[in-house]
Amino acid sequence: MSGAYDAIIIGGGLLGSAIGFGLARQGLGCVILDEGDTAYRAARGNFGLVWVQSKGIGKPVYADWTMGSAELWPGFAQELTERTGIDISYYAPGGIEICLSEAEFDERAQKMASLTGHQNGRFSHQMLDRKAMMERLPGLGPDVVGGSFSPHDGHVGPLFLMRAMQRAFVDLDGVIRTDSRVHAIKRDGDGFSVETPGGTVTGGKVVLAAGLGNKALAPMVNLDQPVYPLKGQVLVTERMAPFLDMPTTHARQTGEGTILIGSSQEDVGFDLSSGPEVIKRIADRARRCFPVLSKARIVRTWAALRVMTPDGIPIYDQSETMPGAFAASCHSGVTLAATHAMTFAKYVADGHLGSELDGLSAGRFDV
């Protein structure tokens, strides 16, 4: 396998697909190098939330980046559907974080106030008591005391989204190469050569978007991407009559009628097994929130690995010693898909990152 491209994107998941599509729609000749079925594939465990509340609390640059993506999402979704005909099941009815105790409610209120404060009024939300919550979600259980609502939130089918981005990328003459685990990245004149089992690929720019693989790839272009795996488990019920028309952080109903139930966080390395104790805890919270789920059958459960950074906030960098090399690492592949395609990709095409990403460089960990 060989060829010269304007840009080489390493990683074919949600992140790489978004960046690849964004570059291709600007007219760049691109190739996506995907490791294939041996990759950890964080996208298969993505809950599908386009989520603004909770993102960037105490970190205004991340909050603004997330909000910017949410604002781009309606146009982004429409363009993908028009280009591909694929229904990505994007809905933006707002979203709710459910609180099962007064302590949870008070903590949530403080976090939302903080987010509102450093967004200068750009972010809006409502703290809802039990009565107000029941008006929005009639089937809530007796343990629910209230919650937070934000109109900026929504949800999407993550695998439909990835399929649509890849279809649009290919339709724009992009090339996707599977079974292409990268062994080496080297400077090649003004560009780069990337070595894979199928041969060497050359290009003017290279973008590292390989999730957990970025940690090993980054030093090849004199960058640092200190990422590690954080396991999350997901449960899926049988199809149910519609009752949940607004996503929550722990449960959402898909267009097919199934209920996705999460979420968990386990720092257990690269273990991908599903554990009964965690599944029980996830299911119990969902049942307390929505008693109708008590009789629902669980048809599938699985675990996947999030791509986490030391502070849980994305990393975006460009190499000073190897111009044209960029890296992106984050666990918000769905929420940030719009800004990765419409904004970050433009920065890559232009050859330098925007100043609003200065605070999201890996250099923040050097302090």
CATH of domain 228-308: 3.30.9.10
| Separation of CA 201 from chain center | 27
Domain 4-81+158-226+311-361 has CATH 3.50.50.60: yes
Evaluated on CA atoms 46, 52, 54, 60, the torsion sign reads positive
pLDDT on residue 366: 87
Q: Single out the residue of 40, 28, 6, 72 nearest to residue 308, CA to CA.
A: 40
Separation CA 175–CA 33 (nearest Å): 9
Evaluated on CA atoms 132, 134, 140, 142, the torsion sign reads positive
pLDDT on residue 1: 41
pTM of the model: 0.95
The DSSP secondary structure of 45-101, one letter per residue, reads: G---EE--TTTTTT-HHHHHHHHHHHHHHHHHHHHHHHHH------B-S-EEEEESS
Q: Could you read off the pLDDT tens digit of each residue along the chain, which spans 367 residues?
A: 446 999 999 999 999 999 999 999 999 999 999 987 655 565 566 789 999 998 988 899 999 999 999 999 999 999 999 999 999 999 999 999 999 999 999 999 999 999 888 777 789 999 999 999 999 999 999 999 999 999 999 999 999 999 999 999 999 999 999 999 999 999 999 999 999 999 999 999 999 999 999 999 999 999 999 999 999 999 999 999 999 999 999 999 998 999 999 888 889 888 888 888 999 999 999 999 999 999 999 999 988 899 999 999 999 999 999 999 999 999 999 999 999 999 999 999 999 999 999 999 999 998 6
- Residue pair 253/240 in contact (Cβ under 8 Å)? The answer is yes
Separation CA 15–CA 5 (nearest Å): 19
Query: How do the domains of the chain map onto residue ranges?
Result: 4-81+158-226+311-361, 95-151, 228-308
- Residue pair 228/121 in contact (Cβ under 8 Å)? The answer is no
Count of CB atoms situated within 10 Å of the CB of 139: 12
